[in-house]
């Protein structure tokens, strides 16, 4: 008799994440086509907005500030063969994008068509979904604004 060396198991469960007053407002902003940040204790504008200051741990309040709409690519990596869970079904770049008016960058997708079109310093604009649901994917991708 041959032993069974593996036993397949599949874990799946639909969790419900409570967003709180800050991430909740950020997601509500995306639904309305806006990117929102928050002022840190040192005066920097942080995007996405944290609830607690990354330097001091202090509470930052719930007053958010709109940034962008344009942003600048600060770093990027081209995805040649997107997987089913990737944000776009054709080749794209994962990039750190600093929206205008923000002092930090957010990780998102740039729909640039070709890696030759990508560079650090590229100016990009957000493209929102026409039917938003209040998720980060409401911001479908960024595209070149030059």
Partner 1 sequence: MTERCAVIGIGQTHFKKRRDDVSMPGLLREAIDRALEDAELSIGDIDAVVIGKAPDAFEGVVMPEIFLADAVGATGKPLLRVHTAGSVGGSTFIVGAHHVITGIHDRVLAVSWEKQSEGNAQWGLAGGRSGGIGAGGAFAPWIRAYIEESGAPEYIGWMVAVKDRRNAAKNTYAHLKMPDITLETVKESPMLWDPLRFHESCPSSDGACAVVLTNQAGARRSSKPAAWIDALSVRSELGQFPGRNPVRPQAGVECAHDVYRQAGITDPRREIDMAELYVPFSWYEPMWLEGHDIAGPGEGWKMVDSGETDIGGAFPVNPSGGVLSTNAIGASGMVRFAEAAMQIRGTAGEHQIDGVRTSLAQAYGGAAQYFAMGIFRSS
Minimum CB separation of residue 26 from partner 1 in Å reads 11
Are 110 and 86 within 8 A, CB to CB?
A: no
Distance between the two ends of the chain, CA-based, in angstroms? Answer: 67
The partner residues of 52 in beta bridges, in order of sequence, read 59
Angle at 66 between CA 64 and CA 68, to 5 degrees: 145
Q: Is 18 in the site for partner 1 (CB under 8 A)?
A: yes
Taking CB under 8 A as the binding criterion, the range among 21-29, 68-76, 77-85, 114-122 that sits at the site for partner 1 is 21-29
Q: Is 107 in the site for partner 1 (CB under 8 A)?
A: no
Q: Is 103 in the site for partner 1 (CB under 8 A)?
A: no
- When binding is defined by CB under 8 A, the residue of 58, 61, 123, 137 that contacts partner 1 is 58
Residues whose CB is less than 8 angstroms from the CB of residue 30 and which lie 6 or more positions away in sequence, other chains included: 128, 132, 134, 135, 136, 138, 139
Subset of residues 114 to 143 that bind partner 1, contact rule: CB under 8 A: none
Subset of residues 34 to 53 that bind partner 1, contact rule: CB under 8 A: 50-53
Which residues form the interface with partner 1 (CB under 8 A)?
Answer: 9-13, 15-24, 50-59
């Amino acid at each position: 008799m041959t032993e069974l060396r593996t036993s397949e198991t599949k874990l799946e469960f639909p969790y419900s994440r409570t967003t709180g007053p800050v991430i909740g407002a950020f997601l509500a902003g995306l639904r309305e086509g806006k990117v929102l940040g928050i002022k840190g204790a040192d005066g920097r504008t942080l995007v996405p907005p944290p609830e607690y200051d990354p330097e001091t741990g202090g509470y930052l309040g719930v007053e958010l500030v709109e940034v962008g709409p344009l942003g600048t690519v600060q770093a990027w990596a081209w995805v040649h063969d997107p997987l089913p869970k990737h944000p776009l079904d054709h080749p794209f770049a994962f990039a750190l994008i600093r929206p205008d008016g923000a002092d930090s960058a957010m990780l998102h997708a740039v729909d640039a068509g070709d890696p030759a079109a990508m560079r650090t310093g590229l100016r990009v604009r957000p493209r929102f979904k026409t039917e938003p649901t209040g998720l980060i994917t409401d911001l479908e991708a960024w595209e070149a604004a030059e």
